[in-house]
Each structure stands twice: as C-alpha cells, then as structure tokens.
C-alpha cells in the first residue's frame, strides 16, 4: 500500500537498501487490518521476529510492513480517521487479512490479460507514474480475498526518501528472524483461482492434486490453494478455516512445498489464536 510518511509513496520491494524493480509478476505482501499498529507487535515481532520495513500515514489509513527474510512480507493497516474504509472493514470483519499485493513490471499488460480472462478490476489509479495500481474484488477473483496489482518505480521511490524509521514503541524482536513460507487459501472456484494466480499473475504451479494446487513466485512467496472439500497436506492444517480467502500463514523454510508438508505433518505446530490480528499462524 502507498504511504505518505516522508513521501507520497511506500517502498515495497526495496528494504534495507536493496532495490529491485520487478521484472516479472511477484507476490509481494499480505496485508492485515488491525485497530492499532501495536496490536500486531506481540505475535509478528515478538514471536515471529519481524523486522521494521517502513510505515506511515496515507490519508485515512496508516500501513506499516514487517520483513521476514527475503520473501513475502506482512503489512498491517490501521484506520487513521473515524469512518474510514478500514474502520468499516474492522467493524464488519474484525482484525483479519485484508488483501494480497502482487507487483508487476507492466500494469497495462497485466490489466489487459486480466480482462481477457474475464477478471473485472476497479480502483484503477494512474495519476502518479511511479505508483500505479488496480484491484480485483474478492467476488470477481474467486479467491475470497482482495487482490492489489501494482507497478512501482522502486528506485525513484527510494531516491525520494520513502523509508521511515520505526516508532519509539516498536519492540525488539524476541526471536531470531523467521522466514515466511506459505499462505494458505480457501477458494470458491479452483479453476478461476488457477487462471488468476497461475496464468494472469504468472505463478509457477509446481504441485496439484484433487481440489488443490501450489503456486510459487520464488523462495518464501508461495500460496497453497484449495477448494473447501479438499484438505491438502494435513486435515488439521485447515481446521476451523472454512471461510473463503486467506486461511493461514506458515513460517518455515522458504523453499517448503506442499509435498514437504504432506511428508511430515507432525512437524506443523499451530500457534495459539491471536484475536488482535485474526490470522492463523503455523510453524514448520
């Protein structure tokens, strides 16, 4: 999400001084709605070792990102004004996953492909050439979670000084930095989800079975997708997650695959539920 802390833009693929404008579509981050920034600190900093990436106020909302290794990051978004869209989201759903962000090298090309495949988009923003974006509504995508597709000029964003320092109350990580590995998703239409993730957004579908598939955009950037009747890897992994959309996040070796999890389900440990973020978390 864009941020106005020190600049009118956030920095997404550039963290700790490493700048990398994407050359192909990539899964960039998972965003979660929270009531206050600090609500995510105990779980995602203290227990999981997230490092500060950036953060700031962006109009009526305030996002910040945590870094885990070189893969997928977590973004937490709090409302900054009463009656904002995040206020409405939290009132309706409580703290929970809000959207998945994919970065692409050419937004026009990706948008044309999305439309050819029948995916309606909204919120097309082209006013700023260094940050352009469109969204795919959960009902249009078939995956049950809002999708943000972004083209960002990271080198220019860094040059503008978009990084912000951590707030004074940001805690020291209580554990060695863990690596984000897999996002689990329950979808209403498996074929449509495959068309979106594996074709329009060019995820590499490396494994599949009855009612599920596994797509990856590189180390630590993978999604395990299933329809409600399927329980790939382990039935326990999906327990209590029948709703469509993001079902869980899994921290472990960034190269883990569905076959790895299925081969040794005993290695999976679920952390206690955390009401302030609403995201089921597994460790491998």
CB 12 within 8 A of CB 28: yes
Domains of the chain listed by start with CATH number? 26-159 (3.10.180.10), 180-283 (3.30.720.120)
Evaluate the CA torsion angle 120, 79, 73, 189 in order and state its sign: negative
Task: Report the chain's mean pLDDT, rounded to a whole number.
Answer: 88
Reduce the DSSP state of residue 269 to 3 states and report it.
strand
Question: Rounded to 5 degrees, what are φ and ψ at 212?
Answer: -160, 165
List, for residues 239-266, the tens digit of each pLDDT value. 988 789 999 999 999 999 999 999 999 9
* Cβ 60 vs Cβ 81: under 8 Å: yes
What pLDDT digit, counting tens, does each position of 83-115 carry? Answer: 889 999 999 999 999 999 999 999 999 999 999
Q: How far apart are the first and last CA of the chain?
A: 29
Q: Which residues contact 70 (CB under 8 A, 6 or more apart)?
A: 219, 220, 254
Task: Name the pairing type of β-strands 269-270 and 281-283.
Answer: antiparallel
Sheet with 51-55, strands from edge to edge, namely: 51-55, 61-67, 73-79, 26-33, 96-103, 146-152, 131-136, 122-125
pTM for the model? 0.90
Rg of the chain over all Cα atoms, to the nearest angstrom: 18
Tell me the percentage of the chain whose pLDDT exceeds 90.
Answer: 71
CA distance 176 to 267: 19
- The mean pLDDT of 1-5, rounded to a whole number, is 36
pLDDT of residue 23: 80
């Amino acid at each position: 999400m864009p941020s106005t802390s020190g600049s009118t833009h956030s920095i997404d693929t550039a963290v700790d001084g490493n700048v990398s404008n994407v050359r192909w579509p990539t899964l960039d981050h998972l965003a979660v709605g929270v009531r206050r920034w600090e609500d995510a600190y105990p779980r995602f900093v203290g227990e999981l070792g997230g490092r500060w990436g950036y953060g700031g106020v962006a109009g009526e909302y305030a996002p910040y990102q945590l870094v885990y290794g070189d893969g997928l990051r977590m973004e937490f978004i709090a409302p900054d004004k009463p009656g904002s869209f995040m206020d409405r989201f939290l009132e309706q759903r409580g703290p929970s996953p809000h959207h998945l962000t994919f970065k692409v090298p050419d937004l026009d090309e990706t948008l044309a492909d999305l439309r050819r495949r029948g995916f309606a988009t909204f919120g097309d923003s082209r006013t700023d050439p260094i940050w352009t974006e469109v969204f795919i509504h959960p009902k249009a995508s078939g995956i049950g979670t809002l999708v943000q597709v972004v083209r960002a000029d990271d080198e220019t964003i860094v040059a503008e000084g978009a990084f912000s320092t951590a707030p004074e109350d940001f805690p020291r990580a209580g554990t060695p930095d863990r690596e984000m590995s897999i996002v689990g998703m329950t979808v209403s239409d498996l074929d449509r989800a495959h068309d979106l993730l594996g074709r329009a957004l060019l995820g590499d579908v490396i494994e599949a079975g009855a009612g599920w598939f596994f797509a990856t955009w590189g180390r630590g950037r993978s999604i395990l997708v299933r329809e409600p009747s399927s329980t790939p890897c382990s039935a326990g992994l999906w327990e209590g997650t029948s709703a469509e959309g993001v079902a869980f996040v899994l921290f472990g070796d960034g190269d883990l695959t569905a076959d790895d999890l299925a081969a040794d389900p005993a290695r999976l440990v679920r952390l206690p539920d955390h009401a302030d973020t609403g995201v089921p978390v597994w460790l491998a």
